[in-house]
Every structure is written in structure tokens, then in C-alpha cells.
Structure 1
Amino acid sequence: MTRHDLPHANLLDPRLLRLFDALFTTGSVTKAAERLGQSQPTVSIWLARLRQELDDPLFVRSPEGMLPTPRAEALISTARQALEMLRRLAELRTDFDPATAKRRFSICMTDASHITLLPAILAHVRRVAPGIRIEAAQIGMDTPRMLQSGESDLALGYISDLDAGHFQQALFPQDWVCLANAHHPRIKNRITLRDFRREAHVLIRSGTGHQLLADASREQGIAPDIALELPGFLGLPAIIGTTDLIATLPRHIGETLAHYYGLRVLACPLPIPSFTVKQYWHARFHHDPASQWLRGVCAELFQQQDVRGLHRSARPRRRKAT
């Protein structure tokens, strides 16, 4: 059994296939070298390798130039078909066209982001990509696995630690505010740390920054008077708007709720570490055109801009020319 009969024989270098085609077409080593953008000595070395790989001279010198042998004539059609397949393979990566695309994107986010970020994303997508469907998934412990598997395309929020193999991009910073009834009987335009200690609170056990609030309260030796615990932000505006309870929450969701429901936003007197809202994705999809488009939309809408204006307008900023 010869080397060429082995089931795992080495595949031909595509450069040798291109040389074969160029020599067959031009009948000249010099012209083939010019066509390939290589020096004549390099082409001569490649031709020697090609002859060895195919176990045939392939081309012989004559007054009319390099003439193909019968084996070369038998192989040229197959070689050109292989080159065409390689060209098609290289062209398979096409740009993502949002105007005509039909697909679903899954984005992991908190319920606060359903109120603050999702409306702007959806308004933009409906305007420029009407065939795209958005699915909001819950951000949590399972998010890294979902990003890796492709079950979710993107995560928006704050994830304190992330497995290797993920990318992240900062969007905007978040600090903390207190939300109160606009007609609160004791709190007007300012809330002091003393007020914070004595007033009754609504605790929202939701959001990726929730642990920062709990840690800050413990470190400061403050145990807020919790009158109500909620699993999310859905009922919070009605509670704050009809009682004297206060809530401590990230600025973006606080100012958005205050805008829509006529609530009062106050600077939080408790020192709580700020955090940065980011977008996260897995390295598997870093070069995927559809994923790149979605990340570009989120960056265009949210990156480093004054997010307090997002609930007033879903129009994205224009990209600066680069």
C-alpha cells in the first residue's frame, strides 16, 4: 500500500492547487508566479512539492511552454472544482442584514431592565429589523451556561464574576437612590441617614445589585425597618405612591419609575458601592455577525450616555464616523 492509498493521507495545500490551475492556464512558471504574486523560485519549490504529492511530472517543458501530462489533464477539472468549493467556503460568512433577517434573539436581564432597557431595544428593533423577535430571559446563576450554549445571545446587567470564555462591555454606571411618595408626610426634598433608619422600607429582592445593598447595610450596622418584601419591581410604584414606605434601588430604575408614576427621587444617604451595567456574551459568538449587530444596538442605545433620558426617548444616538 502506497502513501496515496492511506485513508488519512495529507490533503493538498490550497496554494498547490492554485499553482496547478495557474500553470495549466498560462503554460509558464514565470506567468504563474506573477498571477500568484510569488517569486519564481518559490513557485518552482511549490511545483516540486506538487509533483511529489501527485506522483507525476504534471508539466514538461517544450518550445510552446509547459505542457500538461495526461495525468494533469485528467486532474485539472477536479482541482478547479476543489478551488471553487474553497472559494464558496470562504464566502459563507455573510453580513447580517437586520432589515430582512428572520430570527429570535434571547437576552438575559432583570425585571428592572424590562422597564428601563427593553422598551428602547424593542423600539429600535421594530424600526430597523421588523423580522426580529426578542425574548427576555431571567439573568441569574444559569446565565453563563446559557450564553455558552447559545440558548441566550446576550446578558444585560451586573454579573460580579463570570467564567472564562466570556466577553463583557461596559454600558453605563449606576449609583443608588431612594424612592418616596411625592406627598410623603415627613420626607420632602432630602432624606438623611436618620430618616433612613426610622422610616419603613420596601425591600425588592431582585436585580443583580441587590447584594450590594444588603452588604452596605450590614457594614454600616444599619438594619432597615422592612415593612414589605417584593420579588420584583412590578407592584412597587403603586405601593410607594399610596403609602409612606420608601425603597432603595439603582438610579436608572428609580428615575424611570418616578418619571412614569409621579414619585420622588432622593439621594441615598447610605454609602452603597456603585456598579456598572454591562453587556456579556460568550467567545463562541464573538465574531458572529448577528451577535455583533445586537451588541452594536445595545452599545448605541446605552453606552456611556445619560440613561436618565432613556425613558423619554427610544431613539438611539448616531454613531460617530470612524
Structure 2
Amino acid sequence: MNETLPELLDPRLLQLFDVLYGCRSVTRSAEAMGLSQPTISIWLQRLRRQLGDALFVRTPAGMAPTPRADALIGPAREVLEGLRRLAAVQPAFDPATARRRYRICMTDASHVTLLPALLARVRAEAPQVRLEAARMDEGVARALASGEADLALGYAPWLASGIYQQTLYAQDWICLANAAHPRIRRTLSLARYRAEAHVTIAAGTGQDLLEAALTAQGVERRVLLELPGFLGLGAIISGTDLIATLPRHIGETLAQMSGLAVLGCPLGIQGFDVRQHWHARYHEEPGHRWLRALVAELFTAGRR
């Protein structure tokens, strides 16, 4: 059987109750609330009807509260205070004093290209904030929705419903080789690309784009080494004649670190955008907005 829900009190009536209890005068209550006396009288009648009590009676000293009003004033003021807190402006986020942890899903490449700069900036602006890097995989959407992760940085085309995205920069592809490679100078032809031995990275969210391009163009690489990530790749290329095909940002970073030659890729490979992703639940949260603004300032194309 369906039960009729009790009628809820209008917060304006609770406010009248609080003001009238304090000043004991309809006239002064009207002035305090910026309303006319007839409006105050109408609201008071509604309040009496809903609470089933006169609440205030006229006396020579003013409107005296009834015992029922004395009993209700405490709970009424608690409700009003709760409503005020709900309506209050969300507190500002102060990075200088904030103590919190941000969990950011990112690729292995981002550990090399993005994390060092982000960590340095966070330490400078928010010295008590802790960063945690997590894996970028198919569980990212669930982690963002649950709050287990705050941001995802990288190429994640599978993220869709409920996820905000901001493009940071576009990626194309390059090749890396030993700067003293015996058969490669300033350019790399497709024929030479086919003939040389390669090192490849098994992980990486852009790897599918590379494999699709190889298949579509009928190019079969002679892969001599497969690595699970980018750790040690720079040292391997600098000490061998192997070449690697990588997204530009991680490729140029490794080249700078290990003194490698950066070559135009002779294979046509679809580019992609590196983005930051976050869930709609946290779109307006001040601390979250601060972190996203920091990432955008550091890594948006033209600012890096």
C-alpha cells in the first residue's frame, strides 16, 4: 500500500520561525526579512497549520512562543544551518596548504615525457600533495568513475560515456637510430626501413596504430628485440644498430637523453592526440580543477 509522504516545510517558513522566535514581533520580523506584514501573517498561518500549533501568542511583551515552539526551535535552527552549508560557496582549493593524493593513470611513455615536469611543478606549488602513477588500461573508465583515479593522461580512444577530455598535443611518428649507425645517415628510406633490424615496444596505447599501418602497407619488420616498455630502450639503440619506431614525444625525449638520431618515419602511420581525461562527477571539484589546469598549462601544444 502506498503511503502519502508528509508535506515538507518550506525553508522560508523555517526562516520566519527562527526570526520571529528571536525578535517576538511580526513588524520587526517583516523588516528583518524584507517582507510586508500581511505576507508574514500569511506565512505564519501556514506554519501553524503544518505544525498543528499556534507557536506564538500575543502578549503585552510581544509574540510569546508556546511550549511547542520552544521544543522546535533547536531542530529548526539545525535544519537552517544545514541548508546554509549546502548553499554556501564551495571552499577554494589552496595548493600551498593542501594535503591530498592524486592518482593519475598514464602510459609508460608518459612516465618519461610528462611525469618529471608534472612532479616538479606540483612540488613547487603544492609541497604536501602526493602523486601516484597508475596503469593506463581498460579499467581506466571504472577507476575515473569511482574516484579511484583522478586523471588519465595519454591516448585512450575507448573512453567515452561520462568522461571529459581535453586535447594536450598531437603525436606523429618518428624513428630512432644510433647516431653513428653504419648504414643510416640523415634520412631513412622505406627500403632501408625494411632491411634494418628493429626493436619494438609491446606496450603503449599507440602500438595498434603502428601495427595497422604495417599491415595495410604490407611492410614486415625484422624484429630482433621486443620490450615490455621504454625502460632501457635508449641505451639499447645507442649501443646497437637496431632502429625503433615511436610516437614523437617519447622518441625525441629518449633521443635527447641518449644522444640518438631522430629520423623521419618512411611509413605512413596514423597520428593521435594525447589528452587528459576525467569523470563528470569531479568536473567542478576545486582541487581537481587545479590539477587539470596545471596539466593543461604544462603540456598543451604551444606551451611545452
Equivalent of 2:170, from 169, 173, 180? 173
CA 1:156–1:68: 2 relative to 1, 3 Å: same
Selected match of 1:257 from 254, 267, 280: 254
C-alpha distance in structure 2 between counterparts of 1:24 and 1:150, whole Å: 44
Tell me: CA distance 1:39–1:251, structure 2 relative to 1, closer, same or farther (3 Å).
farther
Counting only pairs closer than 5 Å after superposition, residues 52-91 of structure 1 correspond to structure 2 as 52-59=49-56, 67-70=63-66, 71-91=68-88
Which residue of structure 2 lines up, in the alignment, with residue 22 of structure 1? 19
Matched, 1:213 2:202: no
2:179 aligned to which of 154, 178, 182: 182
What amino acid is the match of 2:221? P
CA distance, structure 2, for counterparts of residue 239 and residue 41 of structure 1:
87
Shift of the alpha carbon at 1:10? 4.1
2-side partners of 1:97 and 1:9: how far apart? 43
CA-atom RMSD, angstroms? 2.7
**Stretch of structure 1 that moved more, 202-211 or 42-51:** 42-51
Counterpart residue type for residue 250 of structure 1: P
CA offsets, 1:249-299, max 9 Å, x none?
111001111111111111212111111111111222222222222212111
Q: For residues 1-322 of structure 1, what are the structure 2 equivalents within 5 Å? A: 9-25=6-22, 32=29, 35-36=32-33, 46-59=43-56, 67-70=63-66, 71-91=68-88, 93-305=90-302, 307=304
Q: Look up the match of 1:315.
A: none
Structure 1 unmatched runs, 5+: 1-5, 308-322
- What is the CA–CA distance in structure 1 between the aligned matches of 2:78 and 2:108, rounded to whole Å? 54
| CA shift digits 1:46-83 (9 cap, x unpaired) | 44432222123434678987x24414344334322332
* TM-score, scaled relative to structure 2: 0.88
> Which consecutive residues of structure 2, in runs of 5 or more, have no partner in the other structure?
none
Change (3 A) 1:189 1:94: same
Identity among equivalent pairs (%): 58
Contact 2:297 2:303 in 1 (8 A): no
Residue aligned with 1:184, SS: coil
Aligned residues: 301
Amino acid at match of 2:280: A
Deviations 1:110-168 (A, max 9, x none): 11111100001110111111111111111011111121222211110011122422221
